[in-house]
C-alpha cells in the first residue's frame, strides 16, 4: 500500500495536528535525516520506518533508510545481545564480540552515513558510530528494554553508545545512566496502513475464511513474533482454563524477522503445546501479512499480549485502535498503553489472564466500553502523527545548532 501524505491524516489525528506539523516542518526544510536498522521487514522498527520515512520526505525533510547487512552468525550474536540486554543470562564469547565488530566494519565501508541527523536503531548497527567522519548529529535509538541488562554485554555496547550525541528510549525505565542527553519518544502505529485501516465486515470474513479461522465462537488472539519473551505457551494454558467454562477459540498469529533466528524453534514449541486442539490456530504469517493481522484483530473478541519482556508492544496499540479490549503482561510499553480497567488489563500470571478473559467474555458491555476508551487513548498518544512531531523536534534541536558533533577520536575497530 502506498504511504499516505500528511493531508490524509486530518480525519484521524486529533484536531489541529496536521496544521501543527506543517508549521513545525518549516523549521527543518531541506535538512537530511538518515535511518539505519538491521531489517527492512519484520518487527516494529521496520514497520514504523516504512511509514515515517515517506512522510518525512513528503513534508520536505530529505530522509533515507539504510539496512545493515549481516550473516546468520551475526544475527545469532545480536539475538544473544538482545536477550542479554533484556536481562536473560547469555554466554557471550570473545569470538561473538569480534563477529559483531566485523559486520559493523563491513557495513561502515559500504553504507552512505552522511546526514544532518543520523539515527541508528538498536544494538545491531550501534558500532557504526565509529565510522562518522563528517559534521552531523548521531543519535542512538533503543527500542528494547535495557533497564536490567547483563552487565558485560551492556559494558561492551556502552562504549559505542556514549560516542553518540544523544540517545532515544521508548520508556524512562528502559534508559541507563549515560554521559549524553537522553530523550523519550514513544513508538507509533499508522492508522492508514494496511494493518490498521478500516475493513468492511465482508473483507474481514473473507480473510479469516482464507486463513481457516471460523467466526462461530469468540476469538482470543495474540499477534507477535514467535519469541519466548512473548510467552505464547502461557497464552495457550490460559485459553485452556477459560475453555472449561466458555466456548472460544484461540489464534496465535505471527512470524519472524531476518534478524531473529530463534523464531523457528519457538514456533515448533508452540505447535507442540497446541497439540491437536481444533480450536487453537497457530498461523505462521509472512512479514507483509498486514491485512491478515488487521482482519484478525477486528474479528477478535479479546486480544492478548502476555509478554514477560517487551520493547513497546505496538500490537497492543493496533488492537486498541480497533476498539478491542487488551490483556497484557506487565512488561515494557504495555503498561503505558494499558490503563488498568480503562483501556484494558495487565496481568502477572496464567490464572490472572484466564480470569480477565472470562470477565470480558461474560461482560460484553464492559468490553465495548474499554475498547472505546482504548481507541481514543491511541489517537491521542500513539499515532504516527505524534511520532512525526517528535522526530521533527529532534531534528530542529540538533541539526539547527542546538546539538554538537562529538569528536569520534581514533576508531577502535
Q: Any idea what DSSP says for residue 402? A: I
- Through-space distance between the first and last CA atoms of the chain, rounded to whole angstroms: 41
- In the chain, the percentage of residues whose pLDDT exceeds 70 is 94
Does position 253 have pLDDT exceeding 60, yes or no? yes
CB-CB contact of 122 with 146 (8 Å): no
CB-CB contact of 307 with 224 (8 Å): yes
Per residue, what are the HEC states of 38-70? Answer: CCCCCCHHHHHHHHHHHHHHHCCCEEEEEECCC
Domains along the chain? 6-188+383-402 (3.40.50.2000), 201-381 (3.40.50.2000)
Is residue 401 very low, low, confident or very high in pLDDT (cuts 50, 70, 90)? low
The pLDDT tens digits for 225-248 are 888 889 999 999 999 999 999 999
For 160-217, give the DSSP string: HHTTSSEEEESSGGG----SS-EEE----B-TTSTTTS---HHHHHHHHHHHT---SS
Three cell numbers written together for 56: 518525512
* Average pLDDT of span 150-165: 95
Is residue 410 very low, low, confident or very high in pLDDT (cuts 50, 70, 90)? very low
- pTM for this one? 0.88
Is residue 43 very low, low, confident or very high in pLDDT (cuts 50, 70, 90)? confident
Does position 145 have pLDDT exceeding 60, yes or no? yes
Is residue 64 very low, low, confident or very high in pLDDT (cuts 50, 70, 90)? very high
pLDDT for the residue 404: 52
Does position 409 have pLDDT exceeding 70, yes or no? no
Does position 209 have pLDDT exceeding 70, yes or no? yes
* Average pLDDT of span 263-276: 90
Is residue 258 very low, low, confident or very high in pLDDT (cuts 50, 70, 90)? low
Is residue 223 very low, low, confident or very high in pLDDT (cuts 50, 70, 90)? very high
Q: Which has the closest alpha carbon to 188: 285, 63, 45?
A: 45
Is residue 307 very low, low, confident or very high in pLDDT (cuts 50, 70, 90)? very high
Q: State the sign of the Cα–Cα–Cα–Cα dihedral 69, 73, 79, 81.
A: negative
CB atoms within 10 A of CB 114: 14
Amino acid at each position: 500500500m502506498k504511504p499516505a501524505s500528511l493531508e490524509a491524516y486530518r480525519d484521524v489525528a486529533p484536531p489541529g495536528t496536521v496544521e501543527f506539523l506543517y508549521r513545525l516542518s518549516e523549521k527543518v526544510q531541506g535538512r537530511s535525516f538518515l535511518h539505519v536498522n538491521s531489517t527492512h521487514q519484520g518487527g516494529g522498527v521496520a514497520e514504523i520506518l516504512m511509514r515515517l520515512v515517506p512522510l518525512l520526505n513528503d513534508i520536505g525533510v530529505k530522509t533515507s533508510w539504510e539496512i545493515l547487512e549481516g550473516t546468520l552468525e551475526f544475527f545469532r550474536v545480536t539475538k544473544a545481545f538482545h536477550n542479554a540486554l533484556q536481562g536473560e543470562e547469555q554466554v557471550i564469547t570473545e569470538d561473538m564480540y569480534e563477529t559483531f565488530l566485523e559486520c559493523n566494519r563491513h557495513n561502515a565501508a559500504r553504507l552512505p552515513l552522511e546526514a544532518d541527523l543520523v539515527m541508528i536503531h538498536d544494538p545491531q548497527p550501534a558500532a557504526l558510530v565509529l565510522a562518522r567522519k563528517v559534521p552531523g548529529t548521531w543519535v542512538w535509538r533503543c527500542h528494547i528494554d535495557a533497564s536490567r541488562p547483563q552487565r558485560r554485554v551492556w559494558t561492551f555496547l556502552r562504549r559505542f553508545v556514549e560516542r553518540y550525541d544523544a540517545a532515544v528510549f521508548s520508556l524512562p525505565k528502559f534508559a541507563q545512566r549515560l554521559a549524553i542527553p537522553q530523550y523519550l519518544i514513544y513508538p507509533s502505529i499508522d492508522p492508514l496502513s494496511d494493518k490498521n485501516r478500516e475493513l468492511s465486515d465482508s473483507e474481514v470474513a473473507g480473510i479469516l475464511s482464507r486463513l481457516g479461522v471460523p467466526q462461530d465462537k469468540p476469538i482470543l488472539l495474540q499477534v507477535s513474533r514467535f519469541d519466548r519473551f512473548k510467552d505464547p505457551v502461557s497464552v495457550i494454558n490460559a485459553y485452556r482454563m477459560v475453555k472449561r467454562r466458555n466456548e472460544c477459540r484461540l489464534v496465535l498469529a505471527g512470524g519472524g524477522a531476518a534478524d531473529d533466528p530463534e523464531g523457528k524453534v519457538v514456533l515448533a514449541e508452540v505447535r507442540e503445546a497446541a497439540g491437536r486442539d481444533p480450536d487453537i490456530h497457530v498461523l505462521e504469517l509472512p512479514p507483509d501479512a498486514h491485512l491478515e493481522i488487521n482482519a484478525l484483530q477486528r474479528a477478535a473478541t479479546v486480544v492478548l499480549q502476555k509478554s514477560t519482556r517487551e520493547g513497546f508492544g505496538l500490537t497492543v496499540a493496533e488492537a486498541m485502535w480497533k476498539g478491542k479490549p487488551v490483556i497484557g503482561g506487565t512488561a515494557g510499553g504495555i503498561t503505558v498503553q494499558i490503563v488498568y480497567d480503562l483501556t484494558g488489563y495487565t496481568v502477572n500470571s496464567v490464572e490472572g489472564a484466564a480470569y480477565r478473559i472470562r470477565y470480558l467474555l461474560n461482560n460484553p458491555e464492559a468490553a465495548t466500553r474499554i475498547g472505546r476508551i482504548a481507541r481514543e487513548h491511541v489517537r491521542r498518544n500513539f499515532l504516527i502523527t505524534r511520532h512525526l512531531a517528535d522526530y521533527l523536534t529532534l531534528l530542529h534541536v540538533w541539526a539547527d545548532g542546538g546539538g554538537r558533533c562529538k569528536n569520534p577520536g581514533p576508531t577502535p575497530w
